[in-house]
Amino acid sequence: MNTGFVQSVRALVTLKPKQKLTAQYLLSLLIAVSLAFLVGAGIMLLCGYDPVACYAALFKGALGKPRALGNTLAKTVTLCLTGLAMSVAAKAGIFNVGGEGQLYLGGLAAAVVGARMADSPAWLIVVCALLAAMAAGGAYAWLPGILKVKLRVNEVVTTILLNSAAIYFCSYLANGPLKTAERGIPSGTDSIAAAAWFPPLIRLSSLTTGVFYAAGITLFIWYLMTRSTAGFEMKITGTNPRFARYGGIRADRLALWGMVLSGMVCGVVGPLEVFGLHHRFLTTLSSEFYFDGMLVAMIMRYQPVGVILMSFFFAILNIGGSAMELSAGISSEVILIVQSVIIFFMAAEGGISEMARRSAAERRVRRAARRAEKEASA
Amino acid sequence: MSAEGPVVRFEHVTVQFPGVLANDDVSLDIRRGEVFALVGENGAGKSTLMNVLYGLQKPTLGSLWIKGRKIGPRHDPLRAMAMGVGMVHQHFKLVPSFTVAQNIVLGMEPKRRGLFYDQKRADHDVRALGERFGLPVNTADTVGELSVGLQQRVEILKALHRGADVLILDEPTAVLTPHETDELFEVIRRIVAEKGMTVILITHKLGEVMALSDRVGVMRRGKLLGVLPTAETDERVLAAMMVGRDVIFDELREGAPGEQVVLAVRGLAAKDDRGLPAVRGVDLTVHAGEIVGVCGVEGNGQTELTECIMGMRPQTGGTVTLNGRDISRHTPRAIRAMGVSWIPEDRLSTGLSAKATVTENLLVGKQRQPAFSLLGIHYRRRNARRYAAKLAEEFDIRSGGLELPAASLSGGNMQKTILAREFSFDSPVLVISQPTRGVDIGAIEFIHEKILEKRNAGCAILLVSADLDELFRLSDRLVTLYEGQITGRFEAGSIDKQEIGYYMTGGRQKEARKA
């Protein structure tokens, strides 16, 4: 036989170890999603709904109409930015749980800039507002960062506490010194200059031109984490800080910068909402956006590409879920249960992949053993 | 005895790992009341086979019998313990912040009124257990503060407390000093002779096999090559079986050390993690092209000494100079830049990032060089991979792929990875701690060659090791360290192992003898 041909076919079939890992990972993710939807279907059956119709309503509600798709993409942007903010800090071995507060401060800073600079050209307003948001978010993350690096104060504790401080501080300002004189606005700041609003890309949806800024930031974070020298050093620091120090990496500085960068990204999420949606700062700016983002980041183990994809999936669940309630008449509690079950399965993916890997290995050996036996008897 | 049948029987045990047959059709009987040594290079499958016995690893094929009972598929460490199988792992599984007694009773604590943990009875039980087996321990000590030898003793007691009569010891002497090793052997002999225990010893130190075991099984690449009565074999035969060829230990040193003092340590003092003085005024010089060996019982300041030189631990006094330039009180980053490389004793916590890839581990320290970083921003991945592949070949690092996590490497290959990285800096000073701890014979030979190559090339090397054979083989000069102070200085060849032992214990034993 033509052995050269056989060999080249074999080389094509056998993947490199790294590719194999990726392939296995995707496969296990697929299994997890399928299982999740199956269990979700079971729950819906139990509650007396038709799962096929419900899932159809879910996807149609999230992707069916341009407007729905726009909303889903807008949600993706929020999840993706917050998820990446979590990931970039975690990669450097520091955990930012304070994104919610940084987001609020960023939103407020941007809204103030947007309202005060009303006479400036629109582009300048946007640039200044984004910079102000990043500065506010970054500075607010620097505080727990420096406490961690210099005094070894647990950053999880400080960031959680700082969340409330920031949210209530913003709330105070929006209800007090910065409260708008306009009528019908319960608690919010003055409206920003109309020229600087992010116009919607799809009519009536919440997808605005803000998505371009988000895309830029996403690209930057992806590059930083996976392709840059700093990302390399962050990975070493995040996986073993002592080793990083011994290897001559300034581990503390990296962790601090990871934290600040994370805060800056969170800060930007604020103006995206402010300039795109409310056109002013409202005390209801975020409904725990950052915690959803954290969930996405943790499930995807802080891998940037994974976070981007999983954000889209989460957005479908979120937007489609609300639509499902309206179109399929399924109660929102059941939808929430199904969503939680699906998320639960995604999180359990690690265990599932391990199981799959083991059974595959066992099968291979059994087959080899059988073949060996046959050869021996022949 | 033999009428009872084997205490443990492996029948055609096969274990498949992704890409590797860790155990390949192994059939083996362990007899009651024997010391059975299982030898082989790292990655030969010894630990995997024992993990099967202890229930940590399910065999893909084949079956296991313990005391005449066939073991089902649900075998796990709890069931293994219930059947009297205990295991002491190479990396201890103890809770550092718990006391000795707490660690030993953990999982089966004595209770008061069936509810509350009974500290007094735990202490009492553990003390009694220690006395019964001749393994005295201080039950109230915190385990994290004990020497490695004592931690191992706690592990052994833990297994005995659970009623083990088959004791698996995985590389038990890898972390022990000669004296501790002797003590351990004493204990093993005693529990086998007096208590009728069966001991399975995983090791690759052939001297220990010869000294201690009744029978020896040799593994290579997952296969059990054969089982021999220890009395009918010798080290040379076993070594050849293990590595598949004859091992020759040559004299590789060339030329005399240079005249120039490269590394000078003056009056160095430092504290340990508990804040107690660990290094107390150490003076040392290392010349170019010289290896100075530091002998000492573990925990006498060696770790702290090397950490100080590398800047990983603040020093409380003294100076360290490199070619006359003071390098003390700098960050590890600065000290590296001034020309010191260090091979730390603890591979997983200091020497590597287990989750980062082998390539990344090999590159650390060079990631900002223009070849690997465009303008200090872009990570030049392809160059890094090419470089790693070259280093891996040069240092014979065997891996499933350089883009896999370093955790996938065997202990020997982890060590070679660290060695490859640190040697590639071409630093004038090398500080090397425990270079061959837990490394197989083939790799030891290789590592020793590489160290001597560095010496012959003019490197000043400070070598810390718990392995006297290694120190005697490599060093030009030896110093003994006892309680953070230097108690003796010797030219290589001017002293033998017996004698140096006296200095390692502060010279007190010698005086006692003279008297």
ipTM: 0.77
| Candidate from B17, B21, B368 with C-beta closest to A229 | B368
- Chain B closest-CA separation from residue A19 CA (Å): 10
The per-residue pLDDT for range A23-60, each reduced to its tens digit, is: 766 777 777 778 888 888 888 888 888 888 888 888 88
The per-residue pLDDT for range A90-120, each reduced to its tens digit, is: 988 888 998 899 999 999 999 888 888 878 8
What is residue A356's predicted lDDT score, i.e. its pLDDT? 65
What is residue B97's predicted lDDT score, i.e. its pLDDT? 86
Interface A-B: count of C-beta contacts within 8 A? 100
What is residue B514's predicted lDDT score, i.e. its pLDDT? 38
Position B507 pLDDT exceeds 60: no
3-class SS of residue B278: strand
Q: Does A365 touch chain B (CB under 8 A)?
A: yes
Do the Cβ atoms of A246 and B342 come within 8 Å?
Answer: yes
What is residue B511's predicted lDDT score, i.e. its pLDDT? 43
Position B515 pLDDT exceeds 60: no
- Chain A closest-CA separation from residue B124 CA (Å): 38
Q: Which of A260, A269, A347, A369 is nearest to A301 (CA)?
A: A347
- Chain B closest-CA separation from residue A290 CA (Å): 27
The per-residue pLDDT for range A283-337, each reduced to its tens digit, is: 888 878 888 888 888 888 888 888 898 899 888 888 888 888 777 777 777 777 8
Do the Cβ atoms of A249 and B364 come within 8 Å?
Answer: yes
What is residue A222's predicted lDDT score, i.e. its pLDDT? 93
| Candidate from B60, B332, B381 with C-beta closest to A362 | B60
What is residue A79's predicted lDDT score, i.e. its pLDDT? 92
How many helices (H) and strands (E) in chain A? 15, 0
Q: pLDDT exceeding 70 applies to what percent of chain A? A: 85
In B146-205, the residues whose Cβ lies within 8 Å of chain A are: none
Q: How confident is the model over A169-188, as a mean pLDDT?
A: 80
What is residue B421's predicted lDDT score, i.e. its pLDDT? 92
- Chain A closest-CA separation from residue B64 CA (Å): 17
What is residue B216's predicted lDDT score, i.e. its pLDDT? 92
Do the Cβ atoms of B60 and A361 come within 8 Å?
Answer: yes
Predicted confidence band at B205 (pLDDT cuts at 50, 70, 90)? confident
Query: For residue B312, which residues of chain A lie inside 8 Å, CB to CB?
Result: 245-246
What is residue A357's predicted lDDT score, i.e. its pLDDT? 63
Q: Which of A255, A294, A259 is nearest to A143 (CA)?
A: A259
Do the Cβ atoms of B312 and A245 come within 8 Å?
Answer: yes
Predicted confidence band at A3 (pLDDT cuts at 50, 70, 90)? low
The per-residue pLDDT for range B123-141, each reduced to its tens digit, is: 888 888 888 887 888 888 8
Distance from C-alpha of A67 to C-alpha of A206, rounded to nearest angstrom: 8
Amino acid in the structure at residue B480: T
Query: For residue B367, which residues of chain A lie inside 8 Å, CB to CB?
Result: 229, 232-233
Closest residue in A to B343 (Cα) is A246
Query: For residue B400, which residues of chain A lie inside 8 Å, CB to CB?
Result: 17
- Chain B closest-CA separation from residue A72 CA (Å): 33
Closest residue in A to B14 (Cα) is A365
Q: How confident is the model over B183-207, as a mean pLDDT?
A: 85
Mean pLDDT of chain A: 82
Query: For residue B356, which residues of chain A lie inside 8 Å, CB to CB?
Result: 235-236, 239-240
Disruptive mutation site among B11, B63, B367 for chain A (greatest number of A CBs within 10 Å): B367
Predicted confidence band at A141 (pLDDT cuts at 50, 70, 90)? very high
What is residue A106's predicted lDDT score, i.e. its pLDDT? 92
Q: How confident is the model over B172-178, as a mean pLDDT?
A: 74
In A239-298, the residues whose Cβ lies within 8 Å of chain B are: 239-240, 242-250
If one compares B400 and A360, the residue with the highest pLDDT of the two is B400
If one compares A259 and B205, the residue with the highest pLDDT of the two is A259
Comparing A133-142, B442-451, B497-506, which segment has the lowest mean pLDDT?
Answer: B497-506
Q: Is there a contact between A222 and A246 (Cβ–Cβ < 8 Å)?
A: no
In chain B, the N- to C-terminal Cα span, in Å, equals 48
Distance from C-alpha of B353 to C-alpha of A205, rounded to nearest angstrom: 46
Most confident listed range (A54-58, B144-148, B165-169, B500-504): B165-169
Position A282 pLDDT exceeds 50: yes
Comparing A72-86, A87-101, B170-184, B465-479, which segment has the lowest mean pLDDT?
Answer: B170-184
| Candidate from B336, B353, B377 with C-beta closest to A229 | B377
The per-residue pLDDT for range B76-101, each reduced to its tens digit, is: 888 888 888 988 887 788 888 888 88
The per-residue pLDDT for range B32-65, each reduced to its tens digit, is: 889 999 988 766 788 889 889 988 888 888 888 8
Q: Which of B351, B365, B317, B343 is nearest to B484 (CA)?
A: B317
What is residue A360's predicted lDDT score, i.e. its pLDDT? 67
Residues 6+ apart with CB under 8 A from B152: B88, B92, B172, B175, B176, B184
Do the Cβ atoms of A16 and B401 come within 8 Å?
Answer: yes
Distance from C-alpha of A220 to C-alpha of B291, rounded to nearest angstrom: 49
Query: For residue A232, which residues of chain B lie inside 8 Å, CB to CB?
Result: 360, 363, 367, 379
The per-residue pLDDT for range B283-330, each reduced to its tens digit, is: 999 998 889 999 877 778 888 899 999 988 888 888 898 888 888 888
The per-residue pLDDT for range A7-28, each reduced to its tens digit, is: 544 444 444 545 555 676 677 7
Amino acid in the structure at residue A95: F
Predicted confidence band at A183 (pLDDT cuts at 50, 70, 90)? confident
Query: For residue B350, which residues of chain A lie inside 8 Å, CB to CB?
Result: 242-243, 246
Closest residue in A to B361 (Cα) is A236
Query: For residue A22, which residues of chain B lie inside 8 Å, CB to CB?
Result: none
Do the Cβ atoms of A233 and B312 come within 8 Å?
Answer: no
Position A135 pLDDT exceeds 50: yes
Would the CA dihedral through B501, B504, B508, B510 be positive or negative?
positive
Q: Which helix (H) or strand (E) holds B269?
A: strand B261-271
Q: Which of A216, A211, A188 is nearest to A200 (CA)?
A: A211
Query: For residue B14, which residues of chain A lie inside 8 Å, CB to CB?
Result: 365, 369
Q: Does B379 touch chain A (CB under 8 A)?
A: yes
Q: Is there a contact between A115 and A190 (Cβ–Cβ < 8 Å)?
A: yes
Q: Does B60 touch chain A (CB under 8 A)?
A: yes
The per-residue pLDDT for range B332-366, each reduced to its tens digit, is: 999 998 889 999 988 888 889 888 889 999 999 88
| Candidate from A16, A227, A365 with C-beta closest to B61 | A365
What is residue A76's predicted lDDT score, i.e. its pLDDT? 92
Give the pTM: 0.71
- Chain A closest-CA separation from residue B363 CA (Å): 10
Q: Taking CA A239 as the corner, what is the angle to CA A288 and CA B383, rounded to the nearest 5 degrees?
A: 115
Do the Cβ atoms of A248 and B333 come within 8 Å?
Answer: yes
Q: Does B363 touch chain A (CB under 8 A)?
A: yes
| Candidate from B356, B363, B372 with C-beta closest to A239 | B356
Query: For residue B16, which residues of chain A lie inside 8 Å, CB to CB?
Result: 361-362, 364-365
| Candidate from B354, B378, B400 with C-beta closest to A229 | B378
Domains of chain A in start order, with CATH, are 3-371 (1.10.3470)
Amino acid in the structure at residue B308: C
What is residue B243's predicted lDDT score, i.e. its pLDDT? 65
If one compares A365 and B377, the residue with the highest pLDDT of the two is B377
Q: Does B404 touch chain A (CB under 8 A)?
A: yes
Half-sphere exposure of B502 (CA within 13 A, CB side): 13
The per-residue pLDDT for range B267-296, each reduced to its tens digit, is: 888 888 877 888 888 999 999 888 999 987
Whose structure tokens read 């082998």? B358
Do the Cβ atoms of A246 and B310 come within 8 Å?
Answer: yes
Q: Is there a contact between B181 and B173 (Cβ–Cβ < 8 Å)?
A: yes
How many other C-beta atoms lie within 10 A of the C-beta of residue A66? 14
Do the Cβ atoms of B367 and A233 come within 8 Å?
Answer: yes
Distances (CA, A) of B317 to B19, B93, B286: 52, 35, 20
Q: Does B457 touch chain A (CB under 8 A)?
A: no
Closest residue in B to A364 (Cα) is B16
Distance from C-alpha of B310 to C-alpha of A139, rounded to nearest angstrom: 34
Q: Does B373 touch chain A (CB under 8 A)?
A: yes
